[in-house]
Structure 1
Amino acid sequence: MIKLLDRLLLFLYSVAIGAASIIAIVAASGGFSVKWLNEVVSEFTGDSRVVQGSVIGVAIIVLLISMRFFVLSIRRDGNSAPSINQRTEHGDIRISVETVENLALKAASRTKGVKDLRARVRVSEAGLGILIRAFVDGEGSIPTLSEEMQRTVSQQIEEATGIPVAEVSVFIANVTQAPTTFKSRVE
């Protein structure tokens, strides 16, 4: 939720600063007549206290947004590269979640009859939760194929990383259609 708010603020801030920059460039290069600018300013500044309060309010808002982006720019994001950390007698081991996902894909692809695989890894106290999304060719039993994929992925991940796998969920998204070959008739 905070990231969405920051993105919205950044968008609005960028649009406002961009528009102000374009207006400043056009005004500085003589794009507006002096008479017209004087009329706009005099219409806008009918009551100087209202104008002064508006300018101060907008300036405070822009300053707060700028400070927020400054803090975001210097703060180190601990979630930039999600990893699984293990402590051994020789030191720390960090394995990226992307590495585990690729290992799961490699293991799942060994199952005959699967196509277009995708993997997601969740880290929990019980171990890794792996979700495999696949298309199948429809030639064999889907439950048998899914169980084989679960077993293969679980064994491969535990063997390669040493991290226990709590569950492997398989989602069969669809059945792929084999390209049909048509023979042309010559008459």
Structure 2
Amino acid sequence: MMKVLDKLLLFLYSIAIGVVSVILIGVGFNWLKNDLAEDILYEVYRSDAISIAVGVTGIVLFLISLRFFFVSLLRGGANTHSIDQRTEFGDIRISMETIENLALKAASKQKGVKDLRARVRASNDGLEIILRAVIDGEHAIPSLTEDIQRAVKSHIEDITGIPVVNVAVFIANVIQTNTIKSRVE
């Protein structure tokens, strides 16, 4: 929800800054006549409604600027999802992409696996890994999926030290193997 709100605020802020820059360019290159600028300022100071509208617009633009300033400071390293661990020597951060690649590496070593995709979620108990696989159809699916689950769980726990609570394997498809028998004449 906040990302959508930030995008909307950035859009409105960009339009407002664009209008202000066009006015400043017009004043800087004398495209706006002095009489026109004086008339506009006179109307702003003369009418209470226009003065309030300009003041509120200024406050809103200032608050949006503060919002973007604080968001830019807070989201410096939060764009990449990671698992953070503390050891006696310091902090360790392992990205989710790294864990996905480790899961793919372990699963791809199993015979019969042809194509893989992985998704990792972190929970309070440990990691939940979801694998989508395409297999060759020459191996029994229950034993193949058990081998994949066992290999992925042990590989990730050995490499990262993070417990794996679930490895779900979804067999998406079976591909046809091209076995060409040679004909001897």
TM-score range, shorter chain: 0.7 to 0.9
Corresponding residue of 1:72:
71
- Normalising by structure 2, report the TM-score: 0.74
Corresponding residue of 2:84:
84
Distance 1:51 1:123, change over 3 A: same
Corresponding residue of 1:114:
113
Structure 1 position 103, deviation (Å): 0.9
Structure 1 position 92, deviation (Å): 4.0
Separation in structure 1 between the aligned mates of residue 173 and residue 4 of structure 2, nearest angstrom? 32
The SS at the match of 2:162 is: coil
What are the superposed Cα offsets for residues 113-164 of structure 1, whole Å, 9 maximum, x if unpaired?
3344222222223221111223334454444432221111111112222222
Distance 1:131 1:3, change over 3 A: same
Give the residue type in structure 2 aligned to 1:122: R
Residue 149 of structure 1 pairs with residue 145 of structure 2: no
**Superposed CA RMSD:** 3.4
| Unaligned 5+ runs, structure 1 | 180-187
- Normalising by structure 1, report the TM-score: 0.73
**Which moved further from structure 2: 17-26 or 65-74?**
17-26
Corresponding residue of 1:129:
128
Distance 1:108 1:60, change over 3 A: same
Separation in structure 2 between the aligned mates of residue 173 and residue 103 of structure 1, nearest angstrom? 20
Separation in structure 2 between the aligned mates of residue 125 and residue 67 of structure 1, nearest angstrom? 34
The SS at the match of 2:69 is: helix
Distance 1:19 1:92, change over 3 A: same
Give the residue type in structure 2 aligned to 1:118: R
Corresponding residue of 2:3:
3
Percent of counterpart pairs with the same letter? 48
Structure 1 position 49, deviation (Å): 1.1
Separation in structure 2 between the aligned mates of residue 73 and residue 100 of structure 1, nearest angstrom? 27
Structure 1 position 65, deviation (Å): 0.5
| Unaligned 5+ runs, structure 2 | 179-185
Corresponding residue of 1:94:
92
Aligned length: 176
Separation in structure 1 between the aligned mates of residue 136 and residue 25 of structure 2, nearest angstrom? 61
Structure 1 position 99, deviation (Å): 2.2
Structure 1 position 54, deviation (Å): 0.8
User: Would the aligned equivalents of 1:84 and 1:123 in 2 still touch at CA under 8 Å?
Assistant: no
Corresponding residue of 1:53:
52
Corresponding residue of 1:167:
166
